[in-house]
Amino acid sequence: MLEKAINGSSKYWIWIASLLLIIGVAGLAWMKQLDQGLVITGMSRDVTWGFYIAQFTFLVGVAAGGVMLVLPYYLHDYKAFGRITVLGEFLAIASIVMCLLFIIADMGFPSRLMNVIIYASPDSMLFWDMIVLNGYLFLNILVGWNVLEAERNGVPAKKWVKIFALISIPWAFGIHTVTAYLYCGLPGRGFWLSAIIAPRFLASAFAAGPAFLIILATILKKTTGFDSGEKALRTLSKIVCYALIANVFFFICEVFVVFYSQNPEHMDHFIYLFWGTGNLVPFMWASMILMVTGIVLLLIPKYRNNLSLLPWICGIVFIGTWLDKGLGFVTGGFVPNPLHEYTEYAPTALELVISMGIFATGFLVLTLLFKMVVGIKQESGDTTPH
Amino acid sequence: MKESRRKFLKIAGVSAIGIGTGSVLTAFASSGSKEEKAAQAAGARFKHRAESLKAGHWGMVIDTRKIDADLAAKIQETCHSIHNVPGIEGKQELKWIWPSDYKHVFPMQTNPYVSEQLKKAPILALCNHCENPPCVRVCPTKATFQREDGIIMMDFHRCIGCRFCMAGCPYGARSFNFRDPKPFIKEMDPMYPHRMIGVVEKCNFCDERLARGQMPACVEVSKGAILFGDLDDPDSNVRKALRANTTIRRKPSLGTSPSVYYIV
C-alpha cells in the first residue's frame, strides 16, 4: 500500500519537500541542543517544562480525539463514519509520533532514554504514559493498516481487527487520562492538583481532535476530491460542540472552586495567567474568547451546518483549545514557583524551530498515510459517500 | 545491571534495601521480597566503613535565630564548592542550599505581623529529605531514591533529565544542568563528582562525608546553628533540640514529612 504514497503530483512533492526542508533545519537546531544542552531553551530552574512538554500534552489530546470516529462506528455501528475512521486512526498515529518526539526533545539526557525500560518504575506516571502511548500507537497502526488493506482487497476486515479496534476505544481515554495524571498528582503544584484535570483534558481533546479532522477532511476534498460526506462532518461538528461545552464547563467548575475557596496556593496561578503581569495574559483571554465564540457558532444550526464556514469555526476551536492546553496549562503550573516567586517563561527561537521540525515530521507522517488512504479509496471508487 | 546498581549503593555505604521498597505498589507486598533477600546476600560482600556515621533516620534542625547573612553566605559557598556546584547566574542557576527569607521558605505559614527579626533573617532552603518524597515517586528510572536512613539520593549516571522530580518537588530544592557545568566550577573538588549536561542535582545531606565519618559541611561551618543527627534516637542532639524548642517544617499540609526542622 505504501506505493500509493510515492505516487503524486508535483504539488504533492513540493509539499513533501517543504516538510523535509523544515525537518532538516530543525534537525540542525536539535544538534545544537544536543551539543549545548537545554540552555538554548527559555526554560529555567523555576519553569522546568516549557513549549515541548506543552505540545506533547496537547497532541496526546489530538491523538485521543480520533476515538470520536472510532467509538460511534465500532460501538454503535454508525455507518457515516465507516469510510473515515481510518483518517482518525492515522491522525492518531501522526500525533503520537509527534508526542514521542517532543518527549525526546525535552530530555536532558536523551541517550539514556532506554533507562525508562531498563529501570522500569511503576510508581512513576511517566512509565505508564510510555506504555499507553506506545500501545495506542501500535493499536492504531494495526487497526488502520488492516482495515485499509481489507478495503483495498475488496473484502471485509478480519474479525480480530475489530477486537483491537474495540480495545483502542478505552485505550484512547487512557492515554489522555494518564497524561493528566502526570500533572494532577503532584502535591506542591496547586494549579494542577485537581481531579478535574483528566476529564478536562478529555473534553478539550474531543473538541480539538475532531475539529482538526474536519479541517483535514475539507483540505482532502479540495486537494484530492475525496469527500468524507456531509453527514459525517455534521455529526463531527456536533461532537466538537458538546465536547467544547464540557471543556468550558469543567473550567468554570475549577474557577469556582479556586476563587470561592480563595485558597491562595490554587488561586495565585489563575491570577497570574489571567490578571498578572506575565506574557501569557493576552493568550489566556484569547483562548477563552475563541472557545466561547466556537461554542456559540457551533450551537446555531445555520452556522454549524454551513460546510464552507465549518472548517473556519473548527480553526477557532482548535486555536482556542491549543492556547489553553498547548500554551497556558504547563507554564501556569510553574508560576508562581514553590517559594512563591514569579519567573517568566517564553520559548526561544531555537526551541520553536525544533518544535516546528517535530510538527513537520507529524505532517509528513500524516500526509503519507492520508495519501495512501485516498489512493486506495480512488482505486475502489469510494471517493464520495454512497 | 542490578549487580552494578547494588555496587553503587554499597560503595555509597548503604544497604540496597531502599530499591523498590516504600513504594506505592510494593507497600502491600509482604516483607522479605526476593529483591531484599538478594540485597542482603549481596550485603555480605560489602562492608560499611568502620568510621562512617549511621542513623535510623537522618534529620536536621536549623536554628534560624543564629544565622546571619554572612554565615548563610559562608554555608552556601562551602556546600557549593565541595560539591562542585557551578556558579551559573540567572534563571538557569544551580543551588543546593541558599538563603531566602521567611515568607518565601514558608509561603503559607507567614502573616503580616511576623517579628522584625524573622522578617529580616536569612532562612536557608535546601532539600528536605522527605520521609514521603514526591520526587522519588515520580522519577521514571529510580535515579532519585530514598536510602534506608532517609537520605534522598541522586544517581547522576542514571538520570535521563526529564525533570519530573523538579515538577514533583514542592520545595524548589532541585536544580538542572541546562549546560555543561565544568566551565562554571571555580575549583574542582576531586572528592566529589561533577555533573554532565542534562541531569538533575540537589543536596545529598553530604552522604559522601557521612561515609567518611564527617558531619555535613553546612553543619560543620554553621557554628552550632545547624544540628544534624538521628531522628530515631531519642537521645540524639536533634531530638533534644526538638524537645526543647518549638520547630516548624515546610508545607506540612502536603504530607511529605520533611526531615529538616526550623527553629524560628
| Residue range A291-313, pLDDT digits in tens | 999 999 999 999 999 999 999 99
Q: Is the pLDDT of residue B121 over 80?
A: yes
Identify the residue whose cell numbers are 521480597. Answer: B33
CA distance linking residue B160 with residue B166, whole number of Å: 13
Q: Which pLDDT belongs to residue A1?
A: 76
pLDDT averaged over every residue in chain B: 87
Q: How far does the CA of residue B254 sit from the closest CA of chain A (Å)?
A: 6
CA distance linking residue A149 with residue A156, whole number of Å: 10
Q: Which of B162, B179, B254 would you mutate first to test chain A, the one with the most A CBs within 10 A? A: B162
**Residue B138: all three cell numbers together:** 515520580
CA dist A251 to A54, A198, A329, B52, B196, Å? 18, 12, 12, 54, 41
List all residues 6 or more positions away from B118 whose beta carbon is below 8 Å from its beta carbon: B64, B102, B264
Please report residues of A whose CB lies closer than 8 A to that of B142: 119, 121
Q: Is the pLDDT of residue B41 over 80?
A: no
The answer to whether the CB of A171 falls within 8 A of the CB of A141 is: no
Contact A334 B164 (CB under 8 A): no
List all residues 6 or more positions away from B23 whose beta carbon is below 8 Å from its beta carbon: A122, A123, B137
Output the CA torsion A255→A260→A266→A270 (10° steps). Answer: 40
Q: Given B125, B141, B179, which is nearest A37 (Cβ)?
A: B179
CA dist A208 to A165, A291, B71, Å? 21, 11, 55
Q: Given B108, B162, B197, which is nearest A265 (Cβ)?
A: B108
Strand B97-100 and strand B123-126: the pairing is antiparallel
CA distance linking residue A67 with residue A132, whole number of Å: 15
CA distance linking residue B12 with residue A125, whole number of Å: 28
Tell whether B249 lies on the interface with A, counting CB pairs under 8 A: no
Q: Which pLDDT belongs to residue B36?
A: 52
Q: Which pLDDT belongs to residue B25?
A: 45
Tell whether B158 lies on the interface with A, counting CB pairs under 8 A: yes
A336 preceded by a cis bond (ω within 30 of 0)? yes
Q: Which pLDDT belongs to residue A386?
A: 66
Q: Which of B92, B123, B136 would you mutate first to test chain A, the one with the most A CBs within 10 A? A: B92
B50 pLDDT band, cuts 50/70/90, is: confident
Contact B178 A337 (CB under 8 A): no
ipTM: 0.93
Tell whether B175 lies on the interface with A, counting CB pairs under 8 A: yes
Contact B164 A118 (CB under 8 A): no
Question: What's the whole-number mean pLDDT along residues B36-52?
Answer: 63
Quick one: CA dihedral B104, B105, B108, B111, positive or negative? negative
The whole-model pTM stands at 0.91
At residue B146, the 3 state secondary structure works out as strand
Please report residues of B whose CB lies closer than 8 A to that of A341: 104
State the CB neighbour count (10 A cutoff) for residue A139.
Answer: 21
Q: Is the pLDDT of residue B222 over 90?
A: yes
Contact A109 B196 (CB under 8 A): yes
Q: Is the pLDDT of residue B249 over 60?
A: yes
Determine if residue B95 is left, alpha or beta; phi over 0 gives left, psi from -120 to 50 gives alpha, anything else beta.
beta
CATH code given to domain B58-263 = 3.30.70.20
Cβ-Cβ contacts under 8 Å between A and B: the total is 153
Residue of A86, A94, A74 whose CA lies nearest to A217:
A86
Please report residues of B whose CB lies closer than 8 A to that of A343: 91
Question: What's the whole-number mean pLDDT along residues B28-57?
Answer: 64
Q: How far does the CA of residue A338 sit from the closest CA of chain B (Å)?
A: 5
Q: Which pLDDT belongs to residue A378?
A: 87
The answer to whether the CB of A321 falls within 8 A of the CB of A278 is: no
At residue B154, the 3 state secondary structure works out as strand
Residue of A261, A252, A241 whose CA lies nearest to A324:
A252
Q: Given A43, A109, A338, which is nearest B170 (Cβ)?
A: A338
The letter for the amino acid at A113 is L
Q: Which pLDDT belongs to residue B47?
A: 66
What's the topology of domain A2-379?
Formate dehydrogenase/DMSO reductase fold (1.20.1630)
Q: Given A36, A44, A121, which is nearest B179 (Cβ)?
A: A36
List all residues 6 or more positions away from A308 whose beta carbon is below 8 Å from its beta carbon: none
Identify the residue whose cell numbers are 530544592. Answer: B173
**Residue A82: all three cell numbers together:** 465507516
Report residues of chain A scoring pLDDT below 50: none
Please report residues of B whose CB lies closer than 8 A to that of A123: 23-25, 136-138
Q: Which pLDDT belongs to residue B159?
A: 97
pLDDT digits (tens, 9 = 90+) for B20-39: 444 444 444 444 455 555 55
CA distance linking residue A167 with residue A136, whole number of Å: 9
Q: Is the pLDDT of residue B178 over 60?
A: yes
Residue of B53, B56, B124 whose CA lies nearest to B95:
B124
pLDDT averaged over every residue in chain A: 95
Q: How far does the CA of residue A153 sit from the closest CA of chain B (Å)?
A: 44
B40 pLDDT band, cuts 50/70/90, is: low
Q: Is the pLDDT of residue B225 over 60?
A: yes
Contact B163 A49 (CB under 8 A): yes
Q: Which pLDDT belongs to residue B30?
A: 42
CA distance linking residue B177 with residue B248, whole number of Å: 31
CA dist B7 to B10, B140, B205, Å? 5, 21, 20
Each domain of chain A, given as residue ranges in start order, spans: 2-379
Each domain of chain B, given as residue ranges in start order, spans: 2-43, 58-263
Q: Which pLDDT belongs to residue B37?
A: 54
pLDDT digits (tens, 9 = 90+) for A212-235: 999 999 999 999 999 999 999 999
Q: Which pLDDT belongs to residue B20?
A: 40
Contact B167 A334 (CB under 8 A): yes
What kind and span of H or E run contains B62?
A: strand B58-63
List all residues 6 or more positions away from A274 whose beta carbon is below 8 Å from its beta carbon: A281, A284, A285
Contact B172 A46 (CB under 8 A): yes
Q: Which pLDDT belongs to residue A301?
A: 95
